[in-house]
Every structure is written in C-alpha cells, then in structure tokens.
Amino acid sequence: MIVSLFHTLNALSFALVSIPTLALTAVSITRFTTKQRSINVVLFLTNNQLNELPLITLAILWTMSYWLRITGTFSTSVLATICWYFNVLTTIGLGYLFSQSLVVKDVAQKFLDQLAKESKTSVQLPEPFSAPFLQKYLNPLIKTENYTSYENISYWTPQEQLEVIRNDGWESAVEMVLDVYQPNGIQGGDERPVLFYIHGGGWTSGTKDWLGPYLPELLSRSWIVVSIDHRLQPKAGYPSQLIDCKRALRWVKEEIRILGGNPDNIVVMGDSSGGHLAAMLTLTMNDPTFQPGFESVDTTVHGCVSLSGVLDLVDAKGQLRHNGRERFTEVVAKRSGPPESEENIKFMKEHSPFHLIKPTGVPFLVVHGDQDILQNVRNARDFVEAYRAKIPGGDHCFNGYSSLRSWYTTLALVEWLQWHFGASQNKDKKARATVDKLVDWGW
C-alpha cells in the first residue's frame, strides 16, 4: 500500500511538471498572445523562463525522469510513462528554442564589427560552449564581487518628501531611493563614467535590485552604476514617475563625484517602461515642465540605451499586442475619458519618445527582441528610422537572465558604452548624434 502510494505521488508530481512544461514550450515556440495584457504578462514571465534557461529546464525534467526510473515508478504507472514521452517532445522544443538563442552571437558580432570600423578595436565574442561563457550563462544566480554598494539613498528634498507623504503616503516616499555601485579601487574625483539605470514593470511595479548581467560587466570596466526606484502608484499618476527620475538624476549630478563618478558623463538606460523613461529623460533634458521646484537644475544626459522600451504610446499603427493605450491612460496616467479621445491622444504623443525626436547630440542605442510579446519590435524599428531621418548623419525582458542571449547582448552593449563613454582615449571626444540598433534576434 505504501509503495503504491509512493509511486502514485511520484507519477502525479512528474505529470504536474511535465504537462505544463510541454504546453508552455508549445506556447513559446508559436509565440501565442492575446489582447489582454494581464494574460500576456503571465505568458511573458513563463516564456522567458523557457527561452532564457532551456538547459536548466531540461536538467530538471530529466533529473525527475531518472528519479522515477531508479524508483521503479515507470514500470507501475501508465501516467508516468506517457509523461516521459511528453518530455521527449519538450526536449525537442527546448532544443529548438536554444538553437534560436545561438543566432544572437552572429547578430551581436556583426554589431561589434560595425562598431570596430569607428573604434579601430576588434572584439571577438567567445564561443557559446567555451568554459568561461558556460560558467556565466548556466548560473542563473549572478554573483557580483569587488565593489561597494550604497543602498536606499533618498533623492528627494525635505520639501518634496513632505509633499509626497501628504499626497501619496509614506510608502511612496520610501520608493524614492537609489543604489550606487562603486567598483573597488575607485575613489572620489576619479571621474568614471556613470550608468543611470531605470527598472521596468509597466510604470507600476518593478525594483531597482535586479540589473542582470550588466552590473558585473560594467563594474569590471570601472563604471559607476546607479540603479533607481520611482513611485509606483502615485495618486496623480504619470508623469510622476518621470519627475522622480529627474529628481534622482539631480542627486547624481550633485553627489556622484564624491564616489568617483563624472556628472558630465552619464548614460541613462532602462528596460521596458524604464526604457521609455530613459528615452523621455533624454528627449526632455532641462525641460522645466518635468522639473517642478528644480527648473534650473541641469538634467543633461550624455547617452541613452532603451531595452525593449515602450517608445510609441499612441500606437497609431496598431502594433501593440494588447490594450496598451487603455492601460496607460487609465491605470498609469490615471486620466479620464476613452484612450482614443483627442485629449488623451495628445497627452500620449507628448509622452511618446517616437513623437519627440529632435537633435540632442546624444548617442542612442535601441535594443529589442524581435519576438517580444508585450512590445512589438516594429515600434523600435520605427523609432530608429525616424531618429535617423531627423538627425542627419545618424546611424525589451530577456536581459534580466543569465542566459546565452542575455550575455551576448550584454557584451555587445557594454562595448558600445565603452567606446562612446568609457575609453580613456575618447574622454574628450564630442558626442555624436547617432542611433544604433540591435533589435533583430529571436527570443
């Protein structure tokens, strides 16, 4: 009786893992989406697990299979045997997803080869099965060392703090903080380049605590990294989040030199909604509209990286895969009226980087996966083409995982940052108004 129960529980546990994994693998391969953002978010989270960590998923499945074999469950359970065949199908599917990630190396290498024409420095990416690289992308828990972190630094003024507490409560004031990561050996006055990172999360969720593989790569090159939080549920709605980002930038401008950063060499980078905010920071530099109470403060940035960014809120071409305009106007901006109303369309245009493109003298890098189920890659391509058209001479969140695709993208991105902002020989180089893209890989 006890042995039979043991085999039954083994088989049920195996089925509870094998059947959903097969179904989600099929969804990931077919890129199934719906018109509902909440469902797409769930699909995005599950798809990313399979797309970015297929080898680890396979290891879990076949470890379970081995356990059922040595315990004799396969010989007593039809369900376990059927699920074993499901695992075979899943293995084929995950193998296909892994093969798609191998394409990223070629895309990233072509990007670096193009960059090398200007930098005169050739960079060859490591092979996907080389020992150092395997150690990186097979370890989902990235351990960063050799740095000092200064955490939860408030960037509001006392007056701003009181106003936020009065309007939104103490919890919102606590969200207005940032972390600074200082590489070991860097001291005040060293004038190192600064990466200013804004997390994603649809403007209403997310955290500054997870930067993925960018943090160790940048720290190894002696960059100062600043990661910020902003208010997630301000009663006034958006653009409170943008204003918070500018407040955090104000703090960096005033204080970062003490920790070895250069306030005149700041690159802003964001993921998803953070990519939108990063682009907005760049395209509204020193705009007093978004600097209430600190209108005269310099909020200039010197480079921008948008990762899977929301670059066109209006979505006039209908490229979004869900009700993005409705959610932004009602949930994020907390505006009344239908999203298609003249007032709301005007508001979204005023806060869409695509509709604000102008000469800024700031290098732009746009990074977007071509199978993004939350933000269509065509929006990124449209932004790149529009930027090139308006700037004469100018050239989404898988990136949070320690995966093959993520690491290759990170290495290409960091080389771009290093060339434009980090190399000592380019310290006095005038920034060029360029826009580069790295958008056409599958995930």
Report residue 93 as tokens: 């599917």
Q: Please state, in angstroms and rounded to a whole number, the distance separating the CA atoms of residues 275 and 400.
A: 14
Phi then psi for 206, rounded to 5 degrees?
Answer: 105, 170
Beta bridge partners of 153: 178
Instruction: Quickly count: other Cβ atoms within 10 Å of residue 166's Cβ.
Output: 9
In degrees, rounded to 5, the angle at the alpha carbon of residue 54 between the alpha carbons of residues 138 and 101 is 85
**Identified catalytic residue from 65, 272, 306, 402:** 272
396 is catalytic: yes
- 372 annotated active-site: yes
- For residue 140, whether the previous peptide bond is cis, meaning omega lies within 30 degrees of 0, is no
Q: Which long-range contacts (CB under 8 A, 24 or more apart) does 73-82 make?
A: 73/7, 73/10, 73/11, 73/14, 76/4, 76/7, 77/7, 77/8, 77/10, 77/11, 79/11, 79/12, 79/14, 79/15, 80/7, 80/10, 80/11, 80/14, 80/15
> Contact at 8 Å (CB) between 306 and 365?
yes
Report how far apart, in Å, the C-alpha atoms of 8 and of each of 13, 61, 82, 93, 279 are: 9, 18, 14, 27, 55
Instruction: Please give the torsion angle defined by the CA atoms of residues 192, 393, 410 and 380, in that order, rounded to the nearest 10 degrees.
Output: 130
Question: Hey, how many other C-beta atoms are within 10 angstroms of the C-beta on 193?
Answer: 25
Whether the CB-CB separation of 373 and 31 falls below 8 Å is answered with yes
Among residues 372, 395, 403, 420, the one annotated as catalytic is: 372
Going by the DSSP 8-state scheme, the letter that residue 127 receives in this structure is: P
Alpha-carbon torsion (342, 345, 350, 356), positive or negative: negative
- Point out which residues pair with 46 in neighbouring strands: none
Of 302, 368, 396, 420, which is the active-site residue? 396
Tracing tokens 């990661």 back to the chain, one arrives at 227
Report the C-alpha dihedral over residues 350, 437, 144, 253, rounded to 10 degrees: -40
Beta strands at 224-228 and 177-183: parallel, antiparallel or unpaired: antiparallel
* Angle formed at CA 16 by CA 84 and CA 56, multiple of 5 degrees: 70
Show the tokens assigned to 233. 């549920």
Q: Are strands 192-198 and 147-154 parallel, antiparallel or unpaired?
A: unpaired
With vertex at residue 109, the alpha carbon angle to CA 107 and CA 113, rounded to the nearest 5 degrees, is 120
- Which active-site residues does the annotation give? 272, 372, 396
